[in-house]
Chains A and B, each alone.
Chain A
Amino acid sequence: MSKSSNATKKPFLHKSVFKSEGLKSSTEEDRELVKRTLQGDKQAFEMILNKHQQPLLNYIGRMVGNRELALDFTQEVFIKTYTSLSTYQSQFKFRTWLFKIASNYIIDFWRKKKIDAFSIDQTGKREDDRPPFEIPSDEPSICAQFELIELRGKIEKALDKLPPHLRELFVWRHINEFSYDEIAEIKEIPVGTVKNRVFQSKELVRQFLEEQK
């Protein structure tokens, strides 16, 4: 039997890989918790904290690359979120609103540090939003050369090299498991642009993996 015929039997990823199911109820729960917090229920905000602290830390941590700094930023983002909770509009998902606050916080930090103010806040079209690329005929297998654990480590290293505006989208898509629509909502850019940038980030990661060989 040829390699090609085996391929059809191999299971590929399916929708359930990205946890879009069950998000609706989670969104409703968030709205209810926000409502209760605004009514003065401290326990409701504690529940929001418990629910979102880890995803937020995983995003901020990958953006700033330092655990202590990431913890401080996560704390500050929650404080900012609490103080501006009355401005939250319930037609948006709470977690996209929360991550928008976090994203702006990081952009501000980079601006104050006078580090290339990130470019992740660029909502317009970018030069690198090029149309989807073709698969080259002589493409090498890079990922298959590593064990899964080794591959994860290499990806973490490659993430550091990604430009921040692409790293952010990669983290949201693959670590925070946001849908493309949610990312588009946070960044206020078209879904198509989000997809192109996420694909581009993954291809860049592949390229960096090749360099690490």
Chain B
Amino acid sequence: MNCLRIDQVYLFLEGELSSEENRSIEDHISSCEKCLKAVEERKLLVEASQSLPVWETPQDFTQRVLAHIFPKRITLRDWIVTASIGLSSAVLAFFVVYLISGHNLANVFINLNRTVLNLFQNIVVVLVKTAKLISIGIQVILKIVTLILKGFASLTTILSPELQIGLIALSAIITALLLFGAKRKLLAGEKA
């Protein structure tokens, strides 16, 4: 038999060959050091590859997947059971409070209800008044802005384009001078 090819080595190691082929390979490697070394080398590789660490799934994995596939639906029975438990708990609470304090829990609830209602009413009044003030402020500002714009618009219809340019230039110069004057005044103040 000729020296082994790598595929033969793997097929031999994985038990994929016939008994006759296995025997002939075993005969060959008993007399060929190169092939024996190749077989032993790949045997280690295959053994280690087959015993690599296992990735474990979390304990609740199955339930997690099932919950996605079969989401729990609330049935009428569930609603009835929940309502019954709630009602029974309320009755029990009333009874226990009455036994311990001698007070009727219903009165406590009524007083609490009144307090919450008063608080709610006051907050609502404050909120409504604030909203009204804000809306009036916005209306005033809008009216002023509209008036200014209208003034400018009527000016542009009265004045010729040349005069308009002249006025804009003049106002720019006055603004610059004012700013310059203010700056000088500030600097003079600093020096003083």
A residues touching B (Cβ–Cβ < 8 Å)? 3-5, 7-8, 10, 12-18, 42, 45-46, 49-50, 53-54, 57-58, 61, 67, 70-71, 74-75, 78-79, 82, 132-135, 137, 139, 141-144, 148, 151-152, 155-156, 170, 174-175, 177, 180, 195-196, 198-199, 202-203, 205-206, 209
**Does the CB pair B49–A4 fall under 8 Å?**
no
Which residues from 6 to 46 on chain B have a C-beta closer than 8 Å to any C-beta of chain A?
6-16, 26, 29-46
Q: Kindly state whether residue B110 has any CB partner on chain A within 8 Å.
A: no
**Complex: how many Å from CA A199 to CA B103?**
85
The 10 closest A-B pairs by CB, nearest first: A15-B15, A132-B7, A143-B44, A174-B49, A8-B30, A151-B48, A14-B15, A61-B55, A135-B38, A7-B36
**Does the CB pair A42–B61 fall under 8 Å?**
no
**Does the CB pair A3–B33 fall under 8 Å?**
yes
Q: Kindly state whether residue B157 has any CB partner on chain A within 8 Å.
A: no
**Does the CB pair A12–B52 fall under 8 Å?**
no
Do A152 and B52 contact each other (CB < 8 Å), given the known contacts A7-B29, A139-B37?
yes
Do A196 and B15 contact each other (CB < 8 Å), given the known contacts A4-B36, A57-B57, A174-B50?
no
Task: Collect the chain B residues with CB atoms within 8 Å of residue A10's CB.
Answer: 40
**Does the CB pair B69–A45 fall under 8 Å?**
yes
Task: Collect the chain A residues with CB atoms within 8 Å of residue B61's CB.
Answer: 49, 53, 71, 74-75
CB distance from B16 to the nearest CB of A (A): 8
Contacts between the two chains (Cβ within 8 Å), count: 161
Do A141 and B15 contact each other (CB < 8 Å), given the known contacts A46-B66, A67-B55, A202-B49?
no
**Does the CB pair B58–A199 fall under 8 Å?**
no
**Does the CB pair B6–A134 fall under 8 Å?**
yes
**Complex: how many Å from CA A14 to CA B47?**
11
**Does the CB pair B5–A133 fall under 8 Å?**
yes
Do A13 and B44 contact each other (CB < 8 Å), given the known contacts A18-B15, A79-B65, A135-B9?
no
Nearest CB to that of B56 among chain A residues? A54
Interface size on B, residues (CB 8 A): 53
Task: Collect the chain B residues with CB atoms within 8 Å of residue A209's CB.
Answer: 45
**Does the CB pair A135–B69 fall under 8 Å?**
no
**Does the CB pair A148–B34 fall under 8 Å?**
no
CB distance from B64 to the nearest CB of A (A): 7
Q: Kindly state whether residue B54 has any CB partner on chain A within 8 Å.
A: yes
Task: Collect the chain B residues with CB atoms within 8 Å of residue A13's CB.
Answer: 13-15, 43, 46-47
**Complex: how many Å from CA A3 to CA B34?**
11
CB distance from B161 to the nearest CB of A (A): 59
**Complex: how many Å from CA A198 to CA B47?**
15
**Complex: how many Å from CA A141 to CA B39?**
10
**Complex: how many Å from CA A132 to CA B15?**
18
Interface CB pairs A-B, < 8 A, 8: A5-B30, A54-B55, A75-B64, A135-B3, A139-B41, A143-B45, A170-B49, A206-B45
